Structure 1
Amino acid sequence: MNLYPTLQATIEKAKSLEIPEDRIPILQDFIAYIQKKIDADQTVNLNFICTHNSRRSQFSQIWAKTAAEYFGIEINSFSGGVEVTAFNERAVASIKRAGFKATQKGVGNPKYFVFYSDDDDPIICFSKLYDDPANVPKGFAAVMTCSHADENCPFIPGAEARIPVRYEDPKAFDGTSEEADRYDERSLQIASEMFYVFSRISKA
């Protein structure tokens, strides 16, 4: 991968972070799902779901795809919510600080084309329902990234697995002096866990 230099530095920082002991069993379920699909020579479809599809699920979609590509593992990475809002501008700013390039098309709920390299296709990000036509309709893991969506969506049609991998919402710091740091902290945490997950996948 010909990664952008700032992004490469962010990835090295994420890889160096220690995964807390209480997170390892949570991530192990995620690893097991991916490994089982690869061992069966089946397509790995991951749909990261949180309430508004604006922050944590977008971070997760982007970092999962980037980590998988980094380790040469083929996956499809999606995201969705139970309400449509927009890819939050603070989260967009955070991924840019991490070293991604992002171009915007439209307003209101714009599409963002997020690049980790000039040599690969972008990750297309916008707020949508989890069953939006842009997402795969069946044969996917519903990766629940927030407690509200996890607790209020007991059934996700088309999902063959449901894996809670919850993260704290940086929204609590919107409008404060800590805003940028907290968004970057959450992005880096998600990056570290996605790189941990895909580093433990054995390719078929």
Structure 2
Amino acid sequence: MKNVLVLCTGNSCRSQMAHGYLNYFQDSLANIYSAGIETHGLNPGAVAIMKEDGVDISHHTSNHVDEYEGIEWDFIITVCDHAKENCPFIPAENAERIHHNFFDPSKVEGTPEEKHAAFLKARDEIKEFCHVFVKEELVN
């Protein structure tokens, strides 16, 4: 079984959505973990936008990357530039490191409709990335 780590700054939004979709698209092909270089708790907007698409991440926890020390990673996916640039060294000589800087909907200010649109944009980008990742990296 492969081990996949999705890493973001606060493990509250983008990494949580990716974690949810990676679990959703794969069928017992990998253990999916998400973590941050900090922990900010689950973002309610991320939980809500995922629920709209039938993926429940409300049971997820916001974890620090140090909590997973000792796991042999096959893939480490950073989903924001800040995490990629500031991540502590993760010893994983065999891990494939993948980076994709996703738009951060939690930074958007405005009306409820504008915030919803921001979360929808990020969710759909993350969903597409995760679908392709599972097809190309985990199924083959």
* 2:84 counterpart residue number: 150
Counterpart of 1:198 (choices 120, 134, 137) is 134
Q: Is the 8 A contact 1:46 1:142 kept in 2?
A: yes
- Report the alpha carbon displacement of residue 203 of structure 1 after superposing the two structures with TM: 4.6
The alpha carbon displacement at 1:98 in A equals 1.3
Q: 1:173 aligns with which of 95, 103, 108?
A: 108
Aligned mates of 1:88, 1:202 — CA distance in 2: 28
* Counterpart residue identity of residue 93, structure 1: A
Query: SS of the counterpart of 1:178?
Result: helix
List gaps (5 residues or longer) in structure 2: none
Does structure 1 residue 50 correspond to structure 2 residue 8?
yes
Q: CA deviation at 1:131?
A: 2.3
Match of 2:54 among 79, 99, 121: 99
Residues 116-139 of structure 1 deviation map (CA, whole Å, 9 limit, x = unaligned): xxxxxxxxx11110121xx47321
Rounded Cα–Cα distance in structure 2 between residues aligned with 1:65 and 1:142: 15
C-alpha distance in structure 2 between counterparts of 1:76 and 1:136, whole Å: 15
Alignment RMSD, CA only? 2.2
Output the TM-score relative to the length of structure 2: 0.85
Give the alignment's TM-score, normalised by structure 1. Answer: 0.60
Distance verdict in 2 for CA 1:101–1:82, change over 3 Å: closer
Select which of 1, 26, 29 maps to 1:68.
26
In structure 2, C-alpha distance between the alignment counterparts of 1:202 and 1:175, rounded to whole Å: 38
- Separation in 2, partners of 1:126, 1:54: 8
Identity of aligned residues (%): 28
Q: Indicate the residue corresponding to 2:71 in structure 1.
A: 138
Partner of 2:26, secondary structure, is helix
Structure 2 CA distance, aligned partners of 1:76 and 1:203? 14
1:202 deviation in Å?
7.3
- Once residues 45 and 98 of structure 2 are traced to their aligned partners in structure 1, the CA distance between those partners, rounded to angstroms, is 26
* CA deviation profile, 1:39-96 (whole Å, cap 9, x unmatched): xxxx211110011001110011111111112xxx511110000111101011111111
- Indicate whether 1:183 and 2:138 are aligned: no
Measure the CA separation in 2 of the matches of 1:96 and 1:178: 18
Residue 126 (structure 1) aligned to one of 53, 61, 65: 61
